[in-house]
Amino acid sequence: MGQKRFLEIGKITNVHGLAGEVKVYPWCDDAAFLCSFDVLYTDRSGRKPIKVVRARVHQNMVIMQLEGVLTRSRAEKLRGTVLYMDREDVELDEGCYFVQDLIGLEVHDADTGRIWGKIRDVMQTGANDVYCVWNAETEHEYLVPAIPDVVLETNIEAGTMTIRPLEGLFDAD
C-alpha cells in the first residue's frame, strides 16, 4: 500500500485584510499544526511550493501570509486553492497516523481472524477517534473506537489493522 507523500492539509477560503493574507480552513486535528509549516504546496505532486511567511490561528481558522502575495487582489486569486503538506516535514509520535494512511486498511479480528471490513472514514469525537469500518460483503458499517484496548496493531505497510472488539461492540451483527 503506497503512501501519498503530499497530503491535503487545508483550503484557502477567503482573503484577510488588504495586505494579501489568506484565510485557510484547516483539514487537520489542530489549526496550530498548520501554522508549523515553512513551505506548503498548491498541488498534490509537490511541484508548486509556496513559502509561508507567517501564520497564526484566528477563530479555528489560520491566517497566512504567503511569499509573493502582498495584495488583496493576488490573495483573491488563491481562493479555493487546496494546500498540501509534505509528510517528510512531519515526524509523528509513536502510534499516531495520518488519516489518509488509515483509509482503506483491512480490519482483522485478533481472535477469530474474521475480516470486519475496511476503514472508510475516521471520526474525531474529542475523547478518541472512531474508525468507520465498512464491510462491503454484508453492507454493514462498524464503529471501532481507536483505543489501545481495541486496536492492537496498525500496519500501514501491510494495509492491515488488527483489533479485539470490546464485549458487545459488534453484537448487533
Mean pLDDT score across all residues of the chain? 89
Whichever domain contains 29, its CATH number is 2.40.30.60
Q: Cβ neighbours of residue 113 under 8 Å, at least 6 residues apart?
A: none
- Please choose, from the candidates 160, 165, 111, the residue with its C-alpha nearest in 3D space to the C-alpha of residue 143: 165
Domain membership flag for residue 172: no
Instruction: Quote the cell numbers at residue 68.
Output: 509573493
Question: 150, exposed or middle or buried, with CB in 10 Å at 0-12, 13-18, 19+?
Answer: middle
Q: Which of 88, 107, 141 is the last residue of a domain?
A: 88
pTM of the model as a whole: 0.69
30-86 pLDDT per residue, tens: 888 889 999 999 998 989 999 999 999 998 899 999 999 999 999 999 999 999 999
